[in-house]
Structure 1
Amino acid sequence: MTLMGMTGFGRADGSADWGHWVWEIRSVNGKGLDIRLNTPSGLDALDFETKKRVKARFTRGNLQIQLQVEHERVESGPRVDTALLARLSRQSRIQAQLNETLPDNLSQLLNIKGVIALGSSRSSNTFDDDMQAQLLDSLDEALSSFEEARASEGAALLEILTGILDELELNSKKAAQIAQEQPALVRERFIARLQALQGEENEITEERIAQEAAVFAAKADVKEELDRLDAHIVAGRELLSGNGARGRKLDFLCQELNREVNTLCSKSASLDLTNVGLALKTGIDQFKEQIQNVE
């Protein structure tokens, strides 16, 4: 299955003898799946089915789904504005009493602009089962368009994330090479520490020497950290090429990568190994930033 992003846009429209409609779907990153619907009134059953179909295809993201429906206008016959006609009739009678000229019969009053209008009205805003079925078919088209957009983003993310893993693997190999010098460097520091202790204390007990040796021995070996680091990089590649939603698993993997690199840096006995460790941390931060966009 293609790696899926979490941002995208999908659109589908349709028309029938009863009206025209447009579905639009937008999404941004989200920890879970948050669906916000904006549909005309009278479509409660459609709202439930819409969420059901979205949940069947997506697992993460903040989605905004909008449905706009425009019903066909039905031409109506002549319409008399009775309120206006009554008002003009009253004025006519008043003006007649004042000997002023105004239309004094019904035919003249009806000829006044605005009294009779040829208009149109929208068809009923109710939605029967057939109408809702047409809307749902169009929703599926919008979801497919939306899914393609997220897949396109996922393909771009896959290329970026693979490149970051390549860089992490390269730096891990550099760290392993530099770490070969670690025991000698730690030994030098251990000797220097013993000499410092001899200057501070009249007599160094064997117990104190053993304690210092244990501390430096723990720092000398970074093989376990490097082995786990390599294993996590392999796991990252497997996740990227796997199936289903992988964003949360990749996010957890970043925590494990950071744990190993932090330990590596804390054990480092050379500036070179520390610098490689910092480069690894930078790569992991970049990896973590990008996977926030992965479903």
Structure 2
Amino acid sequence: MRNEQEVLAQLLQLAERDDRIRCVVMNGSRVNPNAPVDFMQDYDIDFYMTNLGDHPYNTDRSWIEAFGERVVVQYEYFEDGSSIYMMQFKDSVRIDLSFKDIGSIQEVYQDSLSKVLLDKDDLDLKLPEPNDSSYLVQKPSRYLWDVHIVELWWLQVCIAKELWRDEIPRAKNLYDQYFMESLRFLLEWHVGANYDWKVNVGTAGKWFKRFLEPDIYEQFLSLYCGADPEEQWEKLNQAGELVRRIGVPLAAKLGYDYPADEERNVTEYVEKVRRLPRDAQSLDG
């Protein structure tokens, strides 16, 4: 397996050979002093170049071969002409390489995890030492709080309807994607408040284990479930317990309102739907 110095040398060699590539910037976990270190960390690299619409890397992809044997490569092209190659190699090296217009170089100031590796034009960007200040959990506005805390009860009604209809793919879509996303927001804010809003929990809460209380973390993980309807009913009920456990004290800490009436009404409604026979014509059965 190649080490970091070898991989960066390969990337810089490619950049130095091409006059169109004027600046190389690395960002992401490899420049984050607070990120866990392991051999699978991605290399997030931006090539800033002139004549962006005229470069050959998107049409002739033989250049990828110099980086090793591929497992899979994902490519994405954007409206501004930039593109990204997400490349996984057999020795476990993963490189996400973006090609961007040099005219957008000022965007590096928007990402505190930016480190210049090559500057052919002496731009002297004067970036601060990489830090994760751009990724700290932000205290929610009252509006954002209201949106997600009510969403956590609103979605339970929607999920209950789909479970009663035996439309499991839609129920799982609502629960796994939308409900769990709002729950992650709630847990992020819980952690943020506990750490004085100076904490980064990682994408989709991937570092929750480092910052959540162990019992809360285990309770959160236990809410993930399969496609069995009865299991999903149980997890929906348990999820409500976690929302209440975190939401009530957090609302008080933030100085916002907790939707106690919605919680009570939704809990009663969901339980009524759960008891309905499949051939019911109304909530009365």
TM-score (norm 1): 0.25
Larger relative contact order, structure 1 or 2 (CA cutoff 8 Å, min sep 6): 1
- Higher share in helix: 1
TM-score by length of 2: 0.26
